[in-house]
Structure 1
Amino acid sequence: MSDLDRAGKRQLRRQFLEERRALEEAAHVRTGEVLRDTLRAQPWMPAAGTVACYWSIGEEPDTHRLVTALWEHGATVLLPVFLPGGELDWAAYEGPESLAEARYGLLEPTGRRYGVEAPARVDLVVCPALAVDRSGVRLGRGAGCYDRSLSHKGPHTPVVVPLHEGELVADLPAEEHDVPVDAVVTPAGLRVFDPGSPVWQAPPVPGAARS
């Protein structure tokens, strides 16, 4: 990617962050409610499996409702722990009292750590972004932490991004290391980019006979 393209991505980040700051609180709540209700209604949503998510802060689409609902219904919910060097470890959410203040104004879980390769063993990843385009290219904050973490995920693990209205866009600049996402949830509901992708198919059962 050229220096001009990188400058363009920085400008896009500033633009989307400014637009988020202008949103009213009701918009965050609405997006969080739609995220929780939409994902829990999907047939591929694990009833009591393992979900990698994040604890939203500031103007991000609210994920607190989703995390709480999944945990209360028996799912193991993993939240990120930022490590020096730009890697993400993952630890179990065990209720709001299990969260502690961390760098950058984040709240991070203090429960059992599952390691940087935890996305390889989860049923679903809910990932943050400032925007996503219609081919699944994700615009993050520029640190690359989530791209590195998503590189560990399995072939049958969908990645879903919650977005505010207006953050699903026609096109975004992409780099080689960018990991595309599989779907977004906006206030309008779920948008799946490739319904035929292996991530939406049940994984093969080990030892099963092939026809």
Structure 2
Amino acid sequence: MSEKAELRRRLLATRAGLTPEDVRRAGEALGASAAALPELAGADTVAAYVSVGREPGTRALLDALRERGVRVLLPVLLDDNDLDWGAYEGADSLVRAGRGLLEPGGERLGPDAVCGADAVLLPGLAVDGRGMRLGRGGGSYDRVLQRLERAGAHPALVVLLYDDEVVARVPAEPHDHPVRAVVTPSVTRRFPAASA
């Protein structure tokens, strides 16, 4: 098993032990802290995602951003694992999609819509002191990051995690991109080397 796969396995096992109350409390704390981030507070458009299962909660943050008038884009998983995007119009507009995901039910804006975002909220399992993020391994967000790079777009990259998911080291490959900030229920940390 690769180093990344082993780290993913351990982190997912820890998440599996979280109770619904643990997830709810963490989501509330994350929503408040992330909404106050300058990278999100000053954004006109934020590309985000709807948390599912035991992922660190994004629902409170999505609603807080929308209430402030921020245009929130949510991903739509395509058959080839790439991502299309749609606008978030509130919790009632979400539809259940494949793999248990929740996606926007409205108009599709195309994979390049993410290039207009001021900030991109990336799902993840861990981040290290360099800002290197460990994703789930499906490659969807690697494609997003490559698309941003090709377009010359430099949105703030932010990841929401649980406290114990900020680790000493994430195995990195040449195509991996550092994030600008990580928000956990108890701390926000920025990585200056990742700033555009």
TM-score normalized by the length of structure 2 = 0.91
Q: Is the 8 A contact 1:47 1:75 kept in 2?
A: no
Is 1:183–2:184 an aligned residue pair? no
Listed as ranges, the matches of 1:40-119 within 5 Å are 40-46=35-41, 49-119=44-114
Distance 1:11 1:101 in 2: 30
Give the count of matched residue pairs: 193
| 3-state SS in 1 of match to 2:189 | strand
What is the one-letter code of the residue matched to 1:70?
L
Q: Equivalent residue of 1:28, what SS? A: helix
- Structure 1 residue 170: Cα displacement: 0.8
Counterpart pick for 1:137 among 121, 132, 140:
132
Aligned to 1:165: 163
Give the TM-score, by structure 1 length: 0.84
Q: Could you tell me how far 1:177 is from its partner in structure 2?
A: 1.8
Larger radius of gyration: 1
* C-alpha spacing 1:53/1:133, structure 2 compared with 1 (3 Å): same
Contact residue 49 and residue 121 of structure 2 kept, 8 A = yes
In structure 2, what is the Cα distance between the partners aligned to 1:176 and 1:86? Answer: 21
Q: Once structures 1 and 2 are overlaid, which stretch shifts more, 70-79 or 45-54? A: 45-54
How does 1:117-156 map onto structure 2 within 5 Å?
117-153=112-148, 155-156=153-154
Q: 1:176 to 1:47 in 2, by over 3 A?
A: closer
Going by fraction, where is helix more abundant, 1 or 2? 2
Letter in 2 for 1:172: V
Percent identity for Structure 1 against Structure 2: 49
Partner in structure 1 of residue 192 of structure 2: 194
Match of 1:9 in 2: 4
Please tell me the root mean square deviation across aligned C-alpha atoms, in Å: 1.8
Q: Unpaired segments of 5 or more residues in structure 2?
A: none
Aligned equivalents of 1:106 and 1:146: distance in 2? 15
Structure 1 distance, partners of 2:192, 2:41, is 20
